[in-house]
Amino acid sequence: MKRLISLVIGLLAICGLLAYTGNRLQRSSGDSGSKVLNLYNWGDYIDPSLLSKFQRETGYHVNVETFDSNEAMFTKLKQGGTHYDLTVPSDYMVSKLKQAHLLQPIDRHRLTGMQNYDPRFLNQSFDRHNRYSIPYFWGTLGIIYNDRYIRPGTLTHWSQLWSPKYRHQIMLVDSARDILGMALVERGESMNTTNPQTLLAATHRLDQLSPNVKAIVADEIKMYMIQDEAAIAVDWSGEAAEMLASNSHLHYVVPKEGSNLWFDNLVIPKSAQHYQAIYAFLNFMNRPENAAQNAEYIGYATPNAKAKALLPRSVRNDRQFYPDDATIRHLQVYRNRPTV
């Protein structure tokens, strides 16, 4: 009897060891076996109906957690203890995450649909050959103005924002890097300069803008502009699209001397666990019909050329949000600069 009990205990121990080893191997392969995908995204930055569609097609349940800044996202990933499968950093933050060894390279052999992308938006300086990132949306930084107060076509340069006639009429988006970048471009400088004297001069130039600034706000800027609370705002193109859709008196312009060309990107954090779900989702979002639906919902420009072709003509031909090559050549992509 004792021998039988010993045999049973031994078999149970072996089964336990095999189960433990299998679990470890499964985790080391990057897939815990759970039918979930953990997405860490900006707020309201994907069409919810697309998530439902993905879940119906694949059986994977998508858990979404949101952040409100690149820096907050970086801090959470660096602290550890999270198991996000995908997140959506901006261009310069991709570089910072790579330098901190917080990303996994993308297995291109498991991807489909990369041929759908506009080559202009691949192989950017922050991630050569897209080893770690896939572009999600792109856009510009520009000026929104209300034609109730400003004649259309007359506001085309950053320098005009300093005019005394706009005293207490301008709203700025709450983004230090973008507002400093605006001041740098206005002075003919690179948005990526690290020269202390150049940065100081741009800061002094912003001090001179203060009398014209009505408020520095985040998401509320859309509501204020839609409700005619200010004549001018400096904000991103996607936010501008939402404003223009709600107020026909609003217009968006990228100043002629240039501005920022930004990219938000899908990346795989180092702590990701659900590889099958990850690549199922990336391939799902690479499909033109899904990327087009997402672009219509969000209002930002899609880097997926085949998806763009599916958008309404009025959208894809709108130079405010899909600028021509001549405008794009004057735009600058942010590089990681820890001092800002």
The answer to whether residue 17 scores a pLDDT higher than 90 is no
Q: Which of 101, 73, 68, 69 is nearest to 86 (CA)?
A: 73
Predicted pLDDT of residue 6: 47
Residue 12: pLDDT band by 50, 70, 90 thresholds?
very low
Q: What whole-number percentage of the chain has pLDDT above 90? A: 83
Segment 204-207 long-range contacts (CB within 8 Å, at least 24 positions apart): 205/162, 206/179, 206/180
Write out pLDDT tens, residues 121-147. Answer: 999 999 999 999 999 999 999 999 999
Instruction: Report residue 129 CA to chain centroid gap.
Output: 18
Assign domain 139-261 one CATH number from 4.10.95.10, 3.40.50.300, 3.40.190.10, 3.40.228.10. Answer: 3.40.190.10
- Torsion over CA: 57, 132, 124, 88 (sign): positive
Write out pLDDT tens, residues 106-127. Answer: 999 999 999 999 999 999 999 9
**Mean of pLDDT values over 309-319:** 94
Residue whose structure tokens are 């995204």: 41
CA angle 302, 110, 123 (to 5 degrees): 45
Tokens coding 76: 């959470």
Fold (topology level) of 31-138+263-322: D-Maltodextrin-Binding Protein; domain 2 (3.40.190)
DSSP string, 145-158: EETTTS-TT----G
What pairing do the DSSP bridges indicate for beta strands 213-217 and 232-236? unpaired
Write out pLDDT tens, residues 41-98. Answer: 999 999 999 999 999 999 999 999 999 889 999 999 999 989 999 999 999 999 999 9
Predicted pLDDT of residue 31: 57
What pTM value is reported for the model? 0.83
CA distance 138 to 230: 26
Tokens coding 193: 């300069």
Is 179:172 a contact under the CB 8 Å cutoff? yes
DSSP string, 176-193: HHHHHHHHHHHTT--TT-
First vs last C-alpha separation in the chain: 74
Q: Where in the chain is the domain with CATH 3.40.190.10?
A: 31-138+263-322, 139-261
CA distance 203 to 209: 10
CA distance 125 to 108: 19
Residue 3, SS3?
helix
Write out pLDDT tens, residues 285-304. Answer: 999 999 999 999 998 999 99
**Mean of pLDDT values over 302-308:** 98
